[in-house]
């Protein structure tokens, strides 16, 4: 069965510092990969996705992620973190099938980002 | 920008009661989903729905759960007889398609269900 691992439950970075959130998946082929952000009391907002092509994808709010097939990873990065980035971040995958994806997103446990002034 | 909306934002119910959670997906989207997030746990898939049928459901989605698209805009999740363990945040999502560039699931703000 597919699984998604976010090894870091909680990360603290200083404002202006760079950020990398890790995501590893287990699946034989290349899945569709997503990063979502959830601010306190809010729903899930899509930051970016990857399904094919250039392995470095750009998203909203200055985030990017790199797909590395050899490492089964899809890590999220931001060069300079802002205090408003404090939130919970979820990596998710879906299985591509010939007729389309399953529609069943499998989520990681989430990483809580705290930003120090 | 179009968004998924959900009502109510918070529902409190007694064990054994029926609840209906409502969602209005983005208007040109064809695929609809429900997820739940128990406090402190992962977001879990419940069910996907397309063309007035369930496409896929998880083990959580047992006979106590049902989904419906009663009209052209609403998408509902019904829990027939709520249990304490149904307390969670329930998210509705929708996508335009299920492959390529059209496959992005947009989530609503959630309904917090509290079963007492």
- What residue ranges define each of the domains in chain B, with the CATH number in brackets? 5-96 (2.60.40.10)
Domains of chain A by residue range: 3-116
* Pairing state between β A10-14 and B5-7: unpaired
CB-closest option in A42, A103, A109 to B55: A103
How far does the CA of residue B53 sit from the closest CA of chain A (Å)?
Answer: 13
Domain A3-116 has CATH 2.60.40.10: yes
User: Which is nearest to A23 in space by CA: A85, A114, A107, A115?
Assistant: A107
Mean pLDDT of B47-56: 92
The alpha carbon of B57 is separated from its chain's Cα centroid by a whole number of angstroms, namely 12
With 70 as the cut, is the pLDDT of residue A100 above it? no
- Determine the Cα–Cα distance for residues A13 and A22; give it in Å rounded to an integer: 14
In contact, A35 and A6? CB cutoff 8 Å = no
Q: What is the mean pLDDT of chain B?
A: 94
In contact, A59 and A35? CB cutoff 8 Å = yes
pLDDT in tens, B57-91: 999 999 999 999 988 889 999 999 999 999 999 99
pLDDT in tens, A65-91: 999 999 999 999 999 999 999 999 999
Better-predicted residue by pLDDT, B106 or A95: B106
- Determine the Cα–Cα distance for residues B25 and B33; give it in Å rounded to an integer: 9
Query: Which DSSP string do the residues of A37-105 spell out, in sequence order?
Result: EE-TT--EEEEEEESSS-SEEE-GGG-EEEEEGGGTEEEEEESS--GGG-EEEEEEEE-EETTEE---P
pLDDT in tens, B24-36: 999 999 999 999 9
Q: Which residues of B touch A100 (CB under 8 A)?
A: 97-99, 103
A103–B56 CB contact, under 8 Å: yes
pLDDT in tens, A7-43: 999 999 999 999 999 999 987 677 899 999 998 878 8
Q: Is A94 near chain B, with CB under 8 Å?
A: yes
Q: Which residues of B touch A34 (CB under 8 A)?
A: 104-105
- Percent residues over pLDDT 90 in chain B: 82
pLDDT of residue B1: 77
- Determine the Cα–Cα distance for residues B79 and B42; give it in Å rounded to an integer: 20
With 70 as the cut, is the pLDDT of residue B96 above it? yes
Q: How many residues does chain A have?
A: 117
Rounded to a whole number of angstroms, the distance between the first and last alpha carbons of chain B is 37
- Structure confidence at residue A99 as a pLDDT band (50, 70, 90): low
Q: What is the DSSP letter of B15?
A: T
Q: Is A45 near chain B, with CB under 8 Å?
A: yes
Give chain B's contact residues with A (Cβ, < 8 Å): 4, 31, 33, 35, 42-45, 48, 50, 55-56, 58, 91, 93, 95, 97-100, 103-110
Q: Is A55 near chain B, with CB under 8 Å?
A: no
pLDDT of residue A98: 65
Q: Nearest 5°: phi and psi at A69?
A: -60, -40
């Amino acid at each position: 069965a597919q699984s998604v691992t976010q090894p870091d439950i909680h990360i603290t970075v200083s404002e202006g510092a760079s950020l990398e959130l890790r995501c590893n998946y287990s699946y034989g082929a290349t899945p569709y990969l997503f990063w979502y952000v959830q601010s306190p009391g809010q729903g899930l907002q899509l930051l970016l996705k990857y399904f094919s092509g250039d392995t470095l994808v750009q998203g909203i709010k200055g985030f990017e992620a790199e797909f590395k097939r050899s490492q089964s990873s899809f890590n999220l990065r931001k060069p300079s973190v802002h205090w408003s980035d404090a939130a919970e971040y979820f990596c998710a995958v879906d299985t591509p099938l010939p007729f389309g994806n399953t529609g069943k997103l499998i989520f990681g446990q989430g990483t809580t980002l705290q930003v120090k002034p | 920008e179009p968004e998924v909306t959900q009502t109510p934002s918070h529902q409190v119910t007694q064990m054994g009661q029926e609840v209906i959670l409502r969602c209005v997906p983005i208007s040109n989207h064809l695929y609809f989903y429900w997820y739940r997030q128990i406090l402190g746990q992962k977001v879990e898939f419940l069910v996907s729905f397309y063309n007035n049928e369930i496409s896929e459901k998880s083990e959580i989605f047992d006979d106590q759960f049902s989904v419906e698209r009663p009209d052209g805009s609403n998408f509902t999740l019904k829990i027939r007889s709520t249990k304490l363990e149904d307390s969670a945040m329930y998210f509705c999502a929708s996508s335009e398609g299920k492959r390529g560039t059209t496959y992005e699931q947009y989530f609503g703000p959630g309904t917090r269900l509290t079963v007492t």
